[in-house]
Structure 1
Amino acid sequence: MSTAMNFGSKSFQPRPPDKGSFPLDHFGECKKFKEKFMKCLRDNDFENAMCRNESKEYLECRMERQLMAPEPLEKLGFADLAAGKSGARS
């Protein structure tokens, strides 16, 4: 029971998560890609398979602006779309 009241003996050292979390887009650098993706989801009854190109473009934007760790598109589930990397940004 005495260990439960011993709050100050160990200091907690926070560390960032390994995967699944990345910095917020505070400056809205990828906002247009996010909005395009969200519109696609709404237009397609939230069927994400219909919005894979928009999802890929959003993740590419985040990687280009160092808002997430760079990952090969194949590893993110876009192996079929990786060869035709979109150069046209609207």
Structure 2
Amino acid sequence: MSTAMNFGNKSFQPRPPDKGSFPLDHFGECRSFKDKFMRCLRENRFENAACRIESREYLRCRMDRRLMAQEPLEKLGFGDLEEGTAEAQRKP
């Protein structure tokens, strides 16, 4: 008698991430941005809303160095922080 539980022949089919691969920063090109973002998170009890500027800068660094696909920052949820956008102009 087999001790393994077999609930059928279904196998797990992994899916790639929606945005494609996310290469590691092997050369530490964006490490200072990551460290600043992580420090901000720790100082703010991991409330990511308090660290949006640091998050934006980290993602911008990754895009500039082709460590992730180029995306408009507005599409990534930073439209209100971008100069020249309608949302940013409405902010006092």
4+ long deviations beyond 4 Å:
none
Q: 1:51 to 1:19 in 2, by over 3 A?
A: same
Shift of 1:21: 3.6
Spell out the pairing of 1:5-84 with structure 2 (5 A cutoff): 17-19=17-19, 21-83=21-83
Gaps of 5+ in 1: 5-15, 85-90
Structure with greater helix percent? 2
Taking structure 1 as the reference length, what is the TM-score of the superposition? 0.72
* C-alpha RMSD over aligned residues: 2.0
Shift of 1:82: 1.4
Taking structure 2 as the reference length, what is the TM-score of the superposition? 0.70
Gaps of 5+ in 2: 1-8, 10-15, 85-92
Query: What number of residue pairs does the alignment pair up?
Result: 71
Higher relative CO (Cα under 8 Å, sequence separation at least 6) belongs to: 1
AA at the equivalent of 2:39? K
